[in-house]
């Protein structure tokens, strides 16, 4: 299945139905956001709330359309409820499946057998084997890291483990849990669990508020790891330079707080800044640029409502000392895994942020300039796929992982 893009609505168009694809972008045109080419916002449905954005362009920014003709192909298939992807130095992709399995996908798209040696996970609800990260020094140490939902005496928790990929690539050796987010809670939802490397060999780890009014307030508490972005070493210890390492009664692994359910983490390829996406309730999905020690507001401020339709807390969207999202959606698109594009196949995408949308059933492209979103595009809209993760591939293409049984990985490139 091959598609060519460049239609007026930003949706993929079969090549056979598009005999006159757009010409490549003029290499002398340094402005991808020509005001004469802006479009209406891609979101056309009514919002759930009457909240006003804090600044222009914080939501429903003008749409853009990719001018370069690109192809979308099924790269790999036959995956069962996958969640995360990471590529090895040679370009192969490690994929997790929520039931507790991990597989290697070759550069030609062949899906390997289950990798053994992974400790048991709790795959109920939203849990299971979730994200995966490959050690920056993999060629020397062959170490793999993964997040998962772990059973404990007090309930379940987001946990991080590590192990060595065997020389035969059939098993994880010497697996050990290096971090568990406290407190445990009897819930099977809002684990967060996305992983990303900083530039110093430390792991960013996201957690959720566990989807309960009992625990959501923990997102504001610095003695709890729920609703946070954490930064740990490869041994699970708090990373040096974290913002709260010298404060009593505070978890020193906390990097930022006030989050609902962070399922997207990505480091900007130029600035090295950490960006995240988190799922809102009824409205209020967010994209944030993460600063050390900052409070991102949940559940005190939100651009969403309770699922029942009533206001969350005091029904406010701004408060002193709390960060505003760079961008938000209402109604929701349910952003999941995300990545910045750093390839050279489609130059107009350089440093754009791509996110998988679960309920939105499309891939989000955000054009970002000076830390503000200046354009939004929806790719593969109308195909009926929930997109779980996005990977900036080693070959310059984007890889998009779908959700559920019989899931596939799409390759988006030339």
- 363, 355 contact by CB (below 8 A): yes
CA atoms within 13 A on the CB side of 259: 38
**Alpha carbons 212 and 208: distance in angstroms, whole number:** 10
Average pLDDT, the chain: 92
**Alpha carbons 387 and 335: distance in angstroms, whole number:** 9
Give the mean pLDDT of 142-160.
98
The token duo for 315 is 């029904």
Number of independent structural domains in the chain: 1
Confidence at residue 37, expressed as pLDDT on a 0 to 100 scale:
58
Choose, from 87, 190, 362, 385, the residue flagged as catalytic. 190
**Alpha carbons 75 and 63: distance in angstroms, whole number:** 28
Confidence at residue 41, expressed as pLDDT on a 0 to 100 scale:
97
Q: Check if 190 is active-site.
A: yes
CATH code of residue 181: 2.120.10.30
Confidence at residue 51, expressed as pLDDT on a 0 to 100 scale:
98
Confidence at residue 44, expressed as pLDDT on a 0 to 100 scale:
95
Report yes or no on 5 lying in a domain.
no
Report yes or no on 286 lying in a domain.
yes
**Alpha carbons 257 and 298: distance in angstroms, whole number:** 8
Give the mean pLDDT of 286-292.
99
Report yes or no on 32 lying in a domain.
no
* Least reliable range by pLDDT among 33-37, 61-65, 205-209: 33-37
Confidence at residue 347, expressed as pLDDT on a 0 to 100 scale:
96
Question: Is residue 206 pLDDT above 80, yes or no?
Answer: yes
- In this prediction, residue 391 has a pLDDT band, given cuts at 50, 70 and 90, of very high
Residue 328: CB atoms within 10 Å: 26
Question: Is residue 250 pLDDT above 60, yes or no?
Answer: yes
Name the percent of the chain lying above pLDDT 90: 90
Report yes or no on 315 lying in a domain.
yes
Higher pLDDT, 70 or 26: 70
Confidence at residue 209, expressed as pLDDT on a 0 to 100 scale:
98
Confidence at residue 11, expressed as pLDDT on a 0 to 100 scale:
33
Degrees (nearest 5) of the Cα angle 264, 266, 270? Answer: 160
Give the domain range for residue 216. 80-413
Give the mean pLDDT of 241-250.
94
Tell me the pLDDT tens digit for each residue of 3-46: 444 433 333 333 333 333 333 344 334 444 454 456 999 999 99
> The whole model's pTM is what?
0.91
């Amino acid at each position: 299945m091959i598609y060519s893009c460049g239609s007026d609505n930003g949706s993929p168009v079969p090549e056979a139905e598009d005999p006159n694809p757009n010409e490549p972008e003029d290499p002398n045109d340094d402005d991808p956001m020509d005001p004469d080419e802006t479009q209406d916002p891609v979101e056309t449905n009514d919002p759930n709330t009457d909240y006003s954005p804090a600044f222009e362009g914080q939501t429903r920014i003008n749409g853009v359309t990719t001018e370069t003709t690109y192809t979308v192909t099924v790269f790999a298939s036959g995956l069962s409820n996958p969640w995360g992807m990471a590529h090895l130095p040679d370009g192969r992709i490690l994929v997790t499946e929520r039931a507790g399995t991990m597989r290697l996908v070759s550069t030609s798209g062949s899906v390997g057998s289950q990798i053994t040696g992974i400790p048991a996970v709790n795959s109920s609800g939203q849990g299971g084997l979730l994200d995966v990260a490959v050690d920056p020094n993999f060629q020397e140490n062959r170490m793999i890291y993964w997040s998962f939902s772990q059973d404990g005496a007090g309930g379940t928790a987001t946990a991080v483990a590590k192990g060595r990929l065997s020389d035969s690539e059939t098993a994880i050796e010497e697996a050990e849990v290096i971090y568990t987010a406290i407190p445990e809670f009897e819930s099977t939802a809002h684990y967060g669990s996305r992983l990303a490397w900083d530039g110093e060999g430390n792991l960013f780890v996201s957690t959720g508020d566990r989807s309960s009014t009992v625990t959501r307030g923990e997102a504001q508490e610095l003695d709890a790891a729920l609703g946070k972005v954490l930064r740990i070493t490869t041994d699970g210890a708090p990373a040096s330079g974290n913002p709260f390492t010298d404060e009593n009664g505070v978890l020193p692994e906390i990097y930022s707080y006030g989050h609902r359910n962070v399922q997207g983490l990505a480091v900007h390829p130029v600035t090295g800044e950490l960006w995240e996406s988190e799922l809102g309730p009824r409205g209020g999905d967010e994209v944030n640029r993460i600063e050390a020690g900052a409070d991102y507001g949940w559940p005190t401020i939100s651009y969403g409502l309770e699922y029942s339709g009533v206001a969350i807390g005091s029904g406010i969207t701004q408060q002193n000392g709390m960060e505003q999202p760079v961008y938000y959606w209402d109604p929701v698109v349910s952003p999941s895994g995300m990545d910045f594009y750093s390839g050279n196949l489609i130059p107009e995408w350089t440093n754009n942020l791509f996110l998988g949308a679960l309920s939105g059933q499309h891939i989000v492209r955000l054009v970002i300039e000076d830390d503000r979103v200046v354009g939004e595009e929806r790719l593969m809209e109308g195909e009926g796929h929930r997109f779980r993760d996005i990977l900036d591939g080693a070959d310059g293409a984007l890889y998009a992982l779908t959700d559920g049984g019989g899931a596939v990985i799409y390759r988006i490139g030339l």
